[in-house]
């Protein structure tokens, strides 16, 4: 991602200041998965999901082949935080409210940055309808 400094903005006559953000890599990884999955038209980013008892914000929610799907992107988050979030998905799965409403629990897709995290996530999501991807494998 490129940003113009003050001199660059003056050269092109722009007044808009864009600051760097730690979220850029996260957003790009989410976009890479969006393209990988076939650009579903109903894709929505940063959606609050709740079953009445557990609430979380999924990085993306989309419908593919008439089925709801969740996406989590792991770039710099600690595995402790990741584990806590997967635990919330498991709580929702175990309560079964999504299954009652849709007839299934939405598939959880996780995109991460290194092979060791793929292995760790695979252990965390055991028992959930989920798939873990290495970002380099979907680009």
Distances (CA, A) of 107 to 1, 10, 11, 131: 31, 48, 48, 8
Percent of residues, the chain, with pLDDT higher than 70 = 97
Report pLDDT digits (tens) over 65-103: 999 999 999 998 999 999 999 999 999 999 999 999 999
CA distance 84 to 72: 13
Domains of the chain: which residue ranges?
A: 22-138
Burial zone of 116 (CB within 10 Å; 0-12 exposed, 13-18 middle, 19+ buried): exposed
CATH class of 22-138: alpha beta
Q: What pLDDT is recorded for position 1? A: 53
Q: Where are the beta strands (DSSP E) in the chain?
A: 44-50, 55-64, 67-73, 107-112, 130-134
Q: Which phi and psi (to 5°) does residue 68 adopt? A: -70, 145
What is the pLDDT, as a whole number, of residue 2?
Answer: 67
97-129 pLDDT, tens digit each: 999 999 999 999 999 999 999 999 999 999 999
Name which of 8-22, 49-63, 76-90, 110-124 the model is least confident about: 8-22
pTM of this prediction exceeds 0.75? yes
Predicted confidence band at 139 (pLDDT cuts at 50, 70, 90)? confident
């Amino acid at each position: 991602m490129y940003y113009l400094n003050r001199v660059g903005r003056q050269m092109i006559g722009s007044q808009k200041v864009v600051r760097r953000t730690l979220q850029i890599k996260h957003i790009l990884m989410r976009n890479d998965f969006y393209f990988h999955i076939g650009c579903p038209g109903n894709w929505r980013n940063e959606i609050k999901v709740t079953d009445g008892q557990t609430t979380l914000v999924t990085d993306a929610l989309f419908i593919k082949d008439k089925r709801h799907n969740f996406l989590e992107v792991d770039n710099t988050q600690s595995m402790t935080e990741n584990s806590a979030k997967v635990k919330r998905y498991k709580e929702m799965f175990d309560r079964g409210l999504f299954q009652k409403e849709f007839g299934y629990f939405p598939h959880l897709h996780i995109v991460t940055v290194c092979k060791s995290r793929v292995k760790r996530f695979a252990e965390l999501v055991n028992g959930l309808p989920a798939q873990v991807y290495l970002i380099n494998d979907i680009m």
